[in-house]
Structure 1
Amino acid sequence: MQSPYHISKTAQLSEEEKQNILKQLTDIFNCVPCDQLRRLCESHSWNVERCIDFLIKANNQDDYENHRKLGSGAIPKQNISVGERAAIKDTVQKRPASDGYTYLSGINNNQNNSSGSSFVEQRISRLISDGSKVMILLRGAPGSGKSCLAKNIVEQHVELNDQYMLRDFIFSSDDFFYNNSNRYKWHANLLDQAHEFNQRRVAEHAQAGWSPIFIDNTNIKLWEMLVYVKIAVENGYAIEILEPRTSWKNSAYKLALKNKHRVPADKIQTMLNNFEKGSVQDLLKVNI
């Protein structure tokens, strides 16, 4: 039996075929903006059946405010029967891949491994696309590409505007050290306050149901993530651990050159030496 997370080759659709799919989906789900439909199709690798399933699920879901926050569009509330569901699918001409279909999105991130998104990134993308509440714990030394990776994933799934901004989805304790002029000034004696500030923001957003939530800290030790795991569990979030796959992520010298807060190479090397491996299961065991 094939794993539900199996990734196969994407059907090679021409732009004309993609536009035809979008037109037909727009005719059916006419309250969803075309750009959001295109993003949904891309995240499901243009598998029409998966896109329709997602849109129908959003239609029939009682709490569709969360989908609005995810940028999936204001979908009209309708009661769609099984027969109507089948009719909708028959309306759209499908062209499946010859070896199956791919419904997990690849993150377009040039800073990370050029071979495409990792399995974890794909799983995160699927959770977001399905409307699940998910908290992602980023891990890695300064300059390894954590912020860029989170930003790329958020921008793929959320329509950012004056109402929904990156700061509503990506949370770093470093944010505490920016003043009103957006200038960064780190103070060692304020580090505890910075972490409390970040934990408070995350808790508030989790209680309000925002998703995805990225914890953009180095998280060198497992215990550093436990407070966020507790917040996630208490608010019904799926938890994922995500590390950048940049070629320089283990080079203290290159990380010192790339990180924006000028953390020196010797301090970064200490972080790399102290990095504690662990899984979500390990974190949950401690929190139970």
Structure 2
Amino acid sequence: MKQAFILRGLPGSGKTHYAHTLADELVSGDESRYTICSTDDYFTDEQGHYEFNKAKLPQFHNLNIARFINAMAEGMPLVILDNTNIKKWEFIAYVSAAHAMGYQVKEVIVGEVKDKSMQHLYAKRNQHGVALKTISKMAHMFEW
């Protein structure tokens, strides 16, 4: 059974950790059997330094969906989308593509979106320097 997981959650909620744990559980961490697609990857250089550039966001989202579709076209058994996906429109194309390619799709909300104390924790631990104010705004805009 081919599976696509759409992860959703605030910065710092643990989406990337969840993606890797999921891959370990479902395909024993065998990298030939899963692909994790994160737009954040495109903001990271070869030395592992992350530098967000808002102007490149549309381009990098397009590259990420292409990677997601290519992984499914190659028959990858497990494909995971690791983005914040605050609004439903942000991931609907991924869901449509997965269904069209015969994948079972599961949406997973990682972490607590509305819990203010968790938002404080996420602001402290997110690796991209997203401020509490931005995280709180994203939580307010989150579509269920």
Tell me if both proteins adopt one fold, taking TM over 0.5 as the criterion.
yes
Unaligned 5+ segments in structure 2 are none
1:257 deviates by 0.2
Asked whether the 8 Å contact 1:140–1:249 carries over to 2, the reply is no
CA RMSD, Structure 1 to Structure 2 (Å): 2.0
- 1:177 corresponds to which letter in structure 2? F
1:164 aligns with 2:32: yes
1:266 deviates by 0.5
- 1:259 corresponds to which letter in structure 2? N
Aligned to 1:153: 22
What is the alpha-carbon distance in structure 1 between the residues aligned to residue 113 and residue 131 of structure 2?
19
Q: 2:9 aligns with which of 140, 144, 163?
A: 140
The structure with more radius of gyration: 1
1:232 deviates by 0.4
Asked whether the 8 Å contact 1:170–1:213 carries over to 2, the reply is yes
1:246 deviates by 5.8
Equivalent position SS for 1:185: coil
What is the alpha-carbon distance in structure 1 between the residues aligned to residue 142 and residue 114 of structure 2?
16
Equivalent position SS for 1:220: coil
Unaligned 5+ segments in structure 1 are 1-131, 278-288
In the TM superposition, what are the counterparts of 1:268-279 in structure 2 within 5 Å? Answer: 268-277=135-144
Equivalent position SS for 1:150: helix
Equivalent position SS for 1:152: helix
The answer to which structure, 1 or 2, has the higher relative contact order (CA under 8 A, 6+ apart) is: 2
Equivalent position SS for 2:91: helix
What is the alpha-carbon distance in structure 2 between the residues aligned to residue 156 and residue 253 of structure 1?
29
Aligned to 1:195: 61
Q: Percent identity?
A: 31
Asked whether the 8 Å contact 1:138–1:216 carries over to 2, the reply is yes
Report the TM-score, using the length of structure 2 for normalisation.
0.90
1:257 aligns with 2:107: no
1:214 deviates by 0.9
Kindly provide the CA deviation profile for residues 121-170 of structure 1, in whole angstroms up to 9, marking residues without a partner as x: xxxxxxxxxxx111111111001111111111101232446x638xx421
Q: How many residues align?
A: 143
- 2:5 corresponds to which letter in structure 1? I
Report the TM-score, using the length of structure 1 for normalisation.
0.47
